[in-house]
Amino acid sequence: NQCYARYLRFHGNTRGMINDVHAFGFVLRCHIGEKARNHLRLSLRYMIAGIILHFYEMQHKMSEMDLRYLQSLGILSPGDVQVMIRMQPQHRSMVTLHWSSLAASKGVKKAEAPSQVQGLLTARLLQVSQSQEEIVDTLALPVPFAYYHILSVMVIVNLGMWAYRMALTES
């Protein structure tokens, strides 16, 4: 059943995104934990903000009040909110993921972590971004179940009529 597969894909992408965030935090904590604690916290706050903003974007609802709410939770700073108010709402989650990457990169340098740590963190961030894009793409093209089957029948009948007509023509 294709409708059910669509929801399984949503579930898989959402779970994958959450797992990648967890792995990102785990790698950060293991490699830069005590040496660059502020970078660790900032990077994770931006990562969490990126996920929350993504779900707001999926609902096509994002007001200044929502950003202020994230500020009141301590996820965004007043300066972050001011910057986000001026940007396109659909870009906010990607920008915060970028900020998370920058904070993590500076933390890796400050903690003098092994060079491959930056690659691990970048891979997780790219996975989160890819999962977000797949969710948005799936939502952007909702094809009703009945419409899919009607269209399939129309294509099969049309191809059958063409095959019959070609069989009757002399070439």
The pLDDT tens digits for 21-44 are 999 999 999 988 888 999 999 999
Provide the pLDDT for residue 56: 87
Provide the pLDDT for residue 2: 60
131-135, 145-149, 153-157 — which one is most confidently predicted on average?
Answer: 153-157
Q: What is the pLDDT of residues 87-113, one digit of tens each?
A: 888 889 999 999 999 999 999 999 998
Is residue 96 within 8 Å of residue 56, measured between CB atoms? no
Indicate the pTM of the whole model. 0.77
Record the tokens describing residue 10, joined without a space: 């949503």
Residues 6+ apart with CB under 8 A from 55: none
Provide the pLDDT for residue 148: 72
